[in-house]
Amino acid sequence: MKREPQPLLERRLAALARRWSRPLLAWYDRSRRDLPWRRNRDPYAVWIAEIMLQQTQVKTVEPYYRKFLRRFPEVKSLARAPLEEVLKQWAGLGYYRRAELLHAAARMIVADFGSELPQTSADLVRLPGVGRYTAAAIASIAFNEAKAVLDGNVIRVLCRLLEVAEDPARPAVRKNLWDVAQRLVPPHRPGDYNQAMMELGATICTPANPACAACPVRKLCLAYQAGEPSRLPRTSRKPEPAKMRRLVLVLARGDRVLLLKRPGRGLWAGLWEFPAFAPFARADERSRLAEALGERLGLRIELAKRKKRVKHRLTHRAVWCEVVQGRCRPGRRDRVLLPPCDQGIYQASRWIKPSRLRELPVSALTRKIAEATGNQAAKPGGSRA
């Protein structure tokens, strides 16, 4: 916090608690975005939205949210579904561990809470995949519990409001921000208040070039009064994403391509993908590469001459894929061996028509590779490898 004598800081927070929420809520009532999860306060729908919105942009979540609720309209249907079906509906949204935990939480809700979502943040935080922020968001929006939320948007608003000069990633600073956030939550309309705080950070109090002239609470903001809100919060520089290099094989047998199922833990857990390996030494020698890949899969393989390069960005990784295409030699119907992958051993194999790829839970990267390779088998020496 800005270094003020404790009694002065206490008086300032008490004054803010009285003056802050009314103009903020009035602005939210007239200016909030029309988002599908704001059209009702059904606890199940609120929970689904909050899990999907974790580290994911609103515009990305909207179509997935609608599709997911059509397929799983209530917690019993989600709990009954096999995990693979849940992953299929989640495919493309990323952070697939969220879907696994969501499924586990649905089963816990049915088994331990009589198919009704817990109504307090203390009980909600017991659910798999629900932390302090998510529990507070659900409890305040769906059940009117006066609990504060603290996400990136709220942190930015509070750092500017109180002119916090320290890095909010530091545990002591983060704890103080949680305490301040809780002090400012009004007892009436806490769910709308929390959403207003997030809305303010997302649309007005943005990281760069905040629209202070349109801010309903700028007169209370210390950073605005100082004339330089953009300098806050002061965060440490994020490290460059780690590079992950993969050799990916798009292998055809007739009109079908080979997919392997990843282990049920780690990156892309439980999803299907084209066989992927660590880059091979001397991978430029096509015959030796075909032999090495064939040994891994228990197949006789011919490779196309040309390769594709596909790049994909994750939050903490930059994935660089060298994609080769090939086909099984005629007359062989070998049983596919399950090779190692970066998270253990592949769990299953399947030959599938490319047009049916959407029927399996696959990642955005796998779809990108399918698109880059034309969704069809390349003949050795062919043109689309």
| DSSP 3-state of 302 | strand
Alpha-carbon dihedral sign for residues 180, 186, 187, 190: negative
Alpha-carbon dihedral sign for residues 302, 307, 313, 317: positive
**Distance, CA of 322 to CA of 248 (rounded, Å):** 6
Residue 359: both structure tokens together: 């029927």
**Distance, CA of 308 to CA of 385 (rounded, Å):** 6
- Angle between helix 171-184 and 152-161 (nearest 10): 80
Nearest alpha-carbon partner for 25 in 156, 161, 195: 195
Q: Residue 280: is it exposed, middle or buried by C-beta count within 10 angstroms (0-12/13-18/19+)?
A: middle
Q: Among this protein's residues, is 240 annotated catalytic?
A: no
Contacts of 157 (CB under 8 A, 6+ apart): 197, 200, 201, 205
| DSSP 3-state of 244 | strand
Nearest alpha-carbon partner for 323 in 264, 366, 292: 366
Q: How far apart are the first and last CA of the chain?
A: 57
Cα dist. 21→103, 183, 193 in Å?
Answer: 36, 11, 7
CB atoms within 10 A of CB 351: 15
Nearest alpha-carbon partner for 158 in 176, 177, 137: 177
Long-range contacts for 52-55 (Cβ within 8 Å, ≥24 apart)? 52/93, 52/98, 54/95, 54/98, 54/134, 55/95, 55/315
Determine which one of 50, 100, 145, 273 is catalytic: 50
Write out the catalytic residue numbers.
50
